[in-house]
């Protein structure tokens, strides 16, 4: 029998408490996946792995494979701008490293898994830390400068990315670079598993192509999986099981 614990892991001064849902398998010392939800940094919920995909198909599937999953909140762009979200991810990891053993979790074996905006946070956090063994990046924005060239239908100062960093990338180049995983890649980066639909209308497929190329360019281990005809949040795909199975195999290799 698996268990679910709702835990407040941080209280940033002047903000609401931040919570996680910690799902654990019926085994001691389970390796850990820290999950970060999507929503353009301006919406979304830790309760939803991916819109249209049920808990049984996502969270429960991962726990059944023997992993603990901590689905963590972070402050949204209407509450705090970048890099506050990275501070929140760090706070969640610190809490899990300090308290995880009491819940049967081995937080020394941790992989970050994010979707869309959450994948950007997972990538940035994984690239900035030395205690993350791998990153699963599903269709995350990787380069805020080229994302600004994508026609989202919003004025330049009202795009998701601009709301997140406080203005258009061209006007805040240092922040935009710091918030773009493609510019944070370095030798010694943790292994990455990147999946992206070729028909993604919200985050262009080229975003993940660029990140995979940058990682390969510095000799980092990267698995890049184009998903033919896949749209954002895997909309339109009849069967997402192979995508989960591939990511779970990667996690198992990363923590071994």
Residue-level pLDDT, tens digit, the chain, 256 residues? 579 999 999 999 999 999 999 999 998 999 999 999 999 999 999 999 999 999 999 999 999 999 999 999 999 999 999 999 999 999 999 999 999 999 999 999 999 999 999 999 999 999 999 999 999 999 999 999 999 998 778 898 999 999 999 999 999 999 999 999 999 999 999 999 999 999 999 999 999 999 999 999 999 999 999 999 999 999 989 999 999 999 999 999 999 9
- Phi, psi (degrees; rounded to nearest 5) at 116: 55, -125
Taking the whole predicted model, whether its pTM rises above 0.85 is answered as: yes
CA 178 to chain centre: 16
Contact 60, 2 (CB under 8 A): yes
The rounded distance, in Å, linking the Cα atoms of 38 and 41 is 7
The rounded distance, in Å, linking the Cα atoms of 184 and 82 is 15
The rounded distance, in Å, linking the Cα atoms of 118 and 138 is 9
Is the bond leading into 83 cis (omega within 30 degrees of zero)? Answer: yes
The rounded distance, in Å, linking the Cα atoms of 208 and 189 is 16
The per-residue pLDDT for 151 is 73
User: Is 3-255 a CATH 3.20.20.10 domain?
Assistant: no
The per-residue pLDDT for 153 is 81
In sequence order, the β-bridge partners of residue 4 are 23
Bridge pairing between strands 105-115 and 134-138 = parallel
Q: What is the 3-state secondary structure (H, E, C) of the chain?
A: CCEEEEEEEECCCCCCCEEEEEEECCCCCEEEEEEECCCCCCCCCCCCCECCECCCCCHHHHHHCCCEEEEECCCCCCCCCCCHHHHHHHHHHHHHHHHHHHHCEEEEEEEEEEECHHHHHHHHHHHHCCCCCEEEEECCCCCHHHHCCCCCCCCHHHCHHHHHHCCCCCCCHHHHHHCCHHHCCCCCCCCEEEEEECCCCCCCHHHHHHHHHHHHHCCCCEEEEEECCCCHHHCCCCCCHHHHHHHHHHHHHHHC
């Amino acid at each position: 029998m698996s268990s679910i614990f709702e835990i407040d892991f941080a209280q940033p001064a002047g903000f609401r408490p931040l919570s996680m849902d910690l799902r654990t398998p019926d085994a001691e010392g389970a390796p850990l996946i820290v999950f970060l939800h999507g929503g353009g940094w301006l919406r979304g919920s830790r309760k939803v792995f991916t819109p249209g995909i049920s808990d049984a198909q996502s969270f429960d599937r991962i726990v059944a494979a023997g992993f603990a999953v901590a689905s963590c909140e972070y402050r949204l762009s209407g509450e705090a701008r970048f890099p506050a979200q990275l501070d929140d991810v760090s706070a969640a990891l610190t809490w899990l490293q300090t308290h995880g053993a009491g819940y049967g979790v081995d937080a020394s074996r941790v992989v970050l898994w994010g979707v869309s905006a959450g994948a950007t946070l997972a990538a940035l956090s994984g690239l900035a830390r030395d205690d993350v063994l791998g990153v699963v990046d599903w269709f995350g924005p990787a380069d805020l400068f080229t994302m600004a060239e994508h026609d989202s239908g919003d004025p330049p100062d009202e795009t998701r990315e601009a709301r997140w960093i406080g203005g258009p990338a061209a006007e805040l180049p240092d922040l935009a670079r710091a918030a773009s995983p493609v510019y944070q890649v370095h030798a010694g980066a943790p292994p990455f598993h990147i999946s992206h639909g070729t028909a993604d209308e919200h985050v262009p497929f080229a975003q993940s192509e660029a990140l995979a190329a940058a990682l390969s360019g510095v000799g980092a281990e990267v698995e890049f999986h184009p998903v033919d005809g896949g749209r954002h949040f895997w909309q339109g795909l009849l069967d997402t099981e192979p995508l989960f199975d591939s990511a779970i195999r990667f996690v198992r290799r990363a923590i071994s």
